[in-house]
A and B are shown apart, each in its own frame.
Chain A
Amino acid sequence: MNSARQNPSIQADASPSDKELVSRAQKGDKPAWRAIYDRYNRRCFALALGVVHNKDEALDVVQEAFLRAYKHLAGFEGASSLYTWLYRIVMNAAIDHLRRQNRAPQVDYDDAVAHLENEAPADAQSLVPQLVRGNPAKELVRREIREKLDEALGKLSPNHRAVLVMREIEGLSYEEMAKEMKCSKGTIMSRLFHARRYMQNHLLEIYGSKVEE
């Protein structure tokens, strides 16, 4: 059910093919590399933003990643899709960026969970599932909603936010995420569970209304 990876609104045009563009770019065709950049820069930016949680820093990460990718383009043999390859470079660039700022995602899992539980609203421990009234995604047109949501996302540890973004935006499997984050599948599942529950409870708080079923 990796539908998010094929997210149509972030997905770029299909023509010309990635393979063709890569082949041309490998021969030094700059417009081909520009076409690849135009095709994927938004997805890469969203991914970088999910990790570093700062617009300017995410732009820096995208720049760094596309330069790194260009320099190593000769080594790309097409074993994975171009975006998978790019995505890994973006993730590495984002993590390197955090390391340079001493914000590397090395938070101990238990500490991070404790932090999340403490930060969550009062009914965070409730096991009764609740829904936000209406369509919360559409409510994002409201600036104050976006700001509160960003604040909630910002309180997630980089580890939890990265897992959330990798899963919800990129549609990565648990195994793929575990490989990327060099941890067990169980850890990935726990992080994802707690990140979602944290966000779920914050949504209830942010949108100010809840429907108990």
Chain B
Amino acid sequence: MTGDEQELLMRYLDGEMTREEARAFEKRLAGSKELETAAAALTQVREVVVARYERAAEEAAPELDRLWAKIEAGMDAPAAAVAPAVPFFTRVGDAIKAWFEQYRGYVAVGAVSGLAGVLIALSLVRVPSGHVVYQPSGDPEVPLEVVGGGVSGGGSVLVANVSAAEIESLEVEGGSGTTFRIPAEDGEAPTTVIWVTRDVEGPI
């Protein structure tokens, strides 16, 4: 059987032919045993599929009857009852609460561990011992002037005779220094702040 014949047979059995096409095909069908068998085989498939689903529907009849109660309940339920409108923050709060309830033990252990980690880190890290604040005059020829602060432990700091704008980093023996600028306010000159940290105990 050719592909064309298969297509024609399918269209014939599915009622997709015009009356004229169907009449012509019926003549062809009557003269071909192979086409007749193919038609019967397709009809068998149809009968089996229909019978299977009919039977499945019959078997499900008691469940379909019981299903009405659920459908009726859904019909009666106002939209709000079906999907209650819960404020966003309540839902978020509930979610966090539920999460906390579920992971309460992990949260407690994590908090204790975190606290211990912070304490250990604090005991190991050296806290900056002091700072020096310089306020530039705005004149590149004028040396920077100490206006406040100091290095704890009475250390000294050497600063070259340069303007604040030229200071990007500060090399300090026995320590380290960093600079940053505070923008000017109300016409005043900007303030350059230099942080100096000791690497070892004692004066810089």
Measured CB to CB, the residues of A under 8 A from B are 1-4, 7, 9-10, 30, 33-34, 37, 41-43, 45-46, 49-50, 55, 58-59, 62-63, 66-67, 70, 127-132, 136-138, 140, 146, 149-150, 153, 164-165, 167-169, 173-174, 189, 192-193, 196, 199-200, 203, 213
Cβ–Cβ contact B46 & A168, under 8 A = yes
- By the criterion CB–CB under 8 Å, are B16 and A174 in contact? yes
Structural contact, B38 and A62, CB atoms closer than 8 A:
no
Measured between alpha carbons, how far is A67 from B55 in the docked complex, in Å? Answer: 25
Give the CA-CA distance A167 to B7 in the complex, in Å.
15
Q: Which residue in B10, B46, B47, B74 is a CB contact (below 8 Å) of A193? A: B10
Which residues in window 1-57 of B have CB below 8 A to A?
A: 1, 6-7, 10-11, 13-16, 33-34, 36-38, 40-42, 44-57
Residue of B nearest to A34 (CB): B68
Closest chain A CB from B23 CB (angstroms):
13
**B49-A199 in contact (CB<8A):** yes
Q: How near does chain B come to A116, taking the closest CB pair, in angstroms? A: 14
Contact A129 B41 (CB under 8 A): yes
**Residues from chain A with Cβ under 8 Å of B1 in the complex:** 127-129
- What is the number of contacts between chain A and chain B, taking CB atoms within 8 Å? 138
Please name all residues of chain B whose beta carbon is closer than 8 Å to the beta carbon of A193 when the two chains form the complex. 6-7, 10
Closest 6 CB pairs of A and B: A1-B15, A129-B38, A137-B51, A42-B57, A46-B53, A213-B37
Inter-chain contacts of A45 with B (CB < 8 A): 56-57, 60, 64
CA distance A131 to B42 in the complex (A): 9
Q: What is the interface of chain B, defined by CB distance below 8 A to chain A?
A: 1, 6-7, 10-11, 13-16, 33-34, 36-38, 40-42, 44-58, 60-61, 63-64, 67-68, 70-72, 74-75
8 more contacts with CB within 8 A, not counting A128-B34, A169-B49, are A34-B68, A37-B71, A46-B54, A59-B63, A62-B67, A63-B67, A149-B48, A173-B16
Provide a sorted-by-A list of 14 A–B residue pairs whose CB atoms are within 8 angstroms.
Answer: A41-B64, A42-B60, A45-B57, A45-B60, A46-B53, A49-B60, A70-B71, A127-B1, A131-B40, A138-B51, A149-B52, A164-B49, A165-B49, A174-B16
Which secondary structure characterizes the binding site on chain B?
A: helix
How many angstroms between the C-alpha atoms of A55 and B51 in the bound complex? Answer: 16
Taking a contact as CB atoms under 8 Å apart, the answer to whether B48 and A136 are in contact is yes
Chain B residues whose CB sits within 8 angstroms of the CB of A132 once the complex forms: 41, 44
Q: Is the CB of A46 within 8 A of B57?
A: yes
Question: Closest approach, in angstroms, between the C-beta of A49 and any C-beta of chain B?
Answer: 6
- The smallest beta-carbon distance between A205 and chain B, in angstroms, is 13
What distance in Å separates the Cβ of A186 from its nearest Cβ neighbour in chain B?
10
Smallest CB gap from B63: residue in A: A59
* CB-CB under 8 A for A140 and B64, given A46-B57, A168-B46, A189-B10: no
Complex: how many Å from CA A132 to CA B44?
8
Indicate whether A37 sits within 8 Å of B52 (C-beta atoms), given known contacts A67-B75, A129-B41, A196-B45. no
Given A1-B14, A42-B58, A129-B34, answer yes or no on A59-B45 (Cβ-Cβ < 8 Å).
no
- Minimum CB–CB distance from A183 to chain B (whole Å) comes to 16
State in angstroms the CA–CA spacing of A200 and B34 once bound together.
15
Residue of B nearest to A55 (CB): B60
In the complex, the answer to whether A189 meets B7 with C-beta atoms within 8 Å is yes
**Interchain CB contact under 8 A, A203 and B75:** no
Give the residues in chain B near A199, CB-CB below 8 Å. Answer: 45, 48-49
- List the B residue with the shortest CB-CB distance to A149: B52
Contact between chains at B52 and A10 (CB < 8 Å): no
Identify B50's interface contact among A4, A37, A55, A127, CB under 8 A.
A4
Residues in chain B near residue A189, CB distance under 8 A? 7, 10-11
A67 touches B71 (CB 8 A): yes
How far apart are B70's CB and chain A's nearest CB, in angstroms? 6
Given A150-B52, A193-B6, A200 and B45 contact (CB-CB distance below 8 Å): yes
Which A residue sits closest to B6, measured CB to CB?
A193
